[in-house]
């Protein structure tokens, strides 16, 4: 069980080496907040809604909450030029957008409906770096996170470490209120640490963590042999 104690109004950047489980880590946070009755908004930039919802179900997140505490904003499909509505289940109330401005428009709309602070997740800025100059991504991160933490609640934004320009990553770190780092240690075990959190004292030490599906579902091995 993953437990967090982040401020209700803040911006958190999650840095992770490729393969360490950035998406799965965020989904564990999503489940925690939903279990606590807090509204969650998930902006998908890296995968189509169908695949995201399948991952959510594996982590024990009920899709019955869609539109009733859980909201998905789909930006990835527009990057692919995909407009096929048949790919999603009928029960999925996914908000499709066609530009970055649509993210904040929908966050504001959801906040007006919920009338309480939101937990806004974005996965992942690395996709935006593929389609935009670094300056555009930095500007989007600065404007969106600043507005969310001042008006709507908390935002958690992921980005892959070690694959982007170091200057751009350092700029993201400087803009965020808090930074979580996920990586593999020398024995390929997953470890994390809170690098900093504005206004709070953090230990800064590396803590082991693992990723497992929710709901008592058994782990499925990647390879099997006899």
Instruction: For residue 60, give the CATH number of its domain.
Output: 3.40.50.300
What's 66's DSSP letter?
B
> What integer pLDDT is reported at residue 90 of this predicted model?
43
Domain containing 24 equals 11-208
How many other C-beta atoms lie within 10 A of the C-beta of residue 160?
21
pLDDT beyond 80 at 223: no
> What integer pLDDT is reported at residue 225 of this predicted model?
55
Q: Each residue of 81-117: pLDDT tens digit?
A: 865 555 555 445 899 999 999 999 999 999 999 999 9
From 160, 194, 159, 164, select the one nearest 177 (Cα to Cα). 194
Sorting pLDDT into bands at 50, 70 and 90, what band is 118? very high
Task: Enumerate the β-bridge partners of residue 178.
Answer: 12, 197
- What average pLDDT does this structure show over 31-42? 96
Q: Kindly state whether residue 169 falls inside one of the protein's structural domains.
A: yes
Q: Kindly state whether residue 90 falls inside one of the protein's structural domains.
A: yes
Q: Kindly state whether residue 64 falls inside one of the protein's structural domains.
A: yes
Q: Which residues contact 123 (CB under 8 A, 6 or more apart)?
A: 22, 23, 26, 42, 43, 44, 45, 46, 47, 158
Sorting pLDDT into bands at 50, 70 and 90, what band is 1? very low
Q: Kindly state whether residue 71 falls inside one of the protein's structural domains.
A: yes
Note whether 210 and 20 are within 8 A (CB): no
Sorting pLDDT into bands at 50, 70 and 90, what band is 152? very high
Alpha-carbon gap, residue 11 to 176, rounded angstroms? 5
Q: Kindly state whether residue 72 falls inside one of the protein's structural domains.
A: yes
Task: Produce one character per residue of 13-40: b if its CB has 16 or more CB atoms within 10 Å, e if not.
Answer: bbbbbeebbbbebbbbbbbbbbeeebbb
- What average pLDDT does this structure show over 11-15? 97
Q: Kindly state whether residue 197 falls inside one of the protein's structural domains.
A: yes
Q: Each residue of 155-202: pLDDT tens digit?
A: 999 999 988 999 999 999 999 999 999 999 999 999 999 998 988 888
- What average pLDDT does this structure show over 60-81? 93
Q: Kindly state whether residue 224 falls inside one of the protein's structural domains.
A: no
Q: Kindly state whether residue 149 falls inside one of the protein's structural domains.
A: yes
The three-class DSSP label of residue 196 is strand
Question: What are phi and psi for residue 27, nearest 5 degrees?
Answer: -65, -30
pLDDT beyond 80 at 3: no
From 140, 132, 55, 56, select the one nearest 103 (Cα to Cα). 140
Sorting pLDDT into bands at 50, 70 and 90, what band is 213? low
> What integer pLDDT is reported at residue 58 of this predicted model?
92
Total domains, the chain: 1
């Amino acid at each position: 069980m993953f437990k967090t104690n982040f401020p209700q109004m803040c911006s958190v950047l999650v840095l992770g080496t490729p393969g360490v489980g950035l998406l799965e880590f965020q989904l564990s946070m999503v489940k925690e907040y939903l279990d606590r009755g807090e509204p969650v908004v998930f902006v998908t930039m890296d995968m189509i809604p169908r695949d995201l919802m399948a991952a959510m179900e594996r982590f024990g997140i009920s899709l019955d909450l869609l539109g009733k505490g859980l909201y998905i904003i789909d930006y990835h499909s527009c990057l692919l030029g995909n407009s096929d509505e048949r790919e999603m289940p009928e029960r999925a109330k996914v908000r499709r957008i066609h530009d970055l401005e649509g993210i904040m428009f929908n966050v504001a709309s959801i906040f007006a409906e919920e009338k309480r602070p939101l937990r806004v997740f974005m996965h992942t800025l690395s996709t935006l770096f593929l389609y935009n100059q670094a300056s555009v991504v930095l500007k989007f991160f600065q404007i969106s996170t600043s507005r969310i933490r001042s008006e709507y609640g908390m935002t958690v934004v992921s980005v892959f470490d070690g694959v982007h320009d170091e200057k751009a990553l350092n700029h993201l770190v400087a803009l965020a209120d808090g930074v979580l780092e996920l990586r593999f240690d020398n024995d390929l075990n997953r470890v994390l640490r809170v690098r900093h959190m504005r206004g709070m004292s953090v230990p800064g030490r590396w803590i082991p963590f693992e990723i497992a599906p929710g709901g008592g579902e058994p782990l499925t091995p990647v390879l099997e042999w006899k």
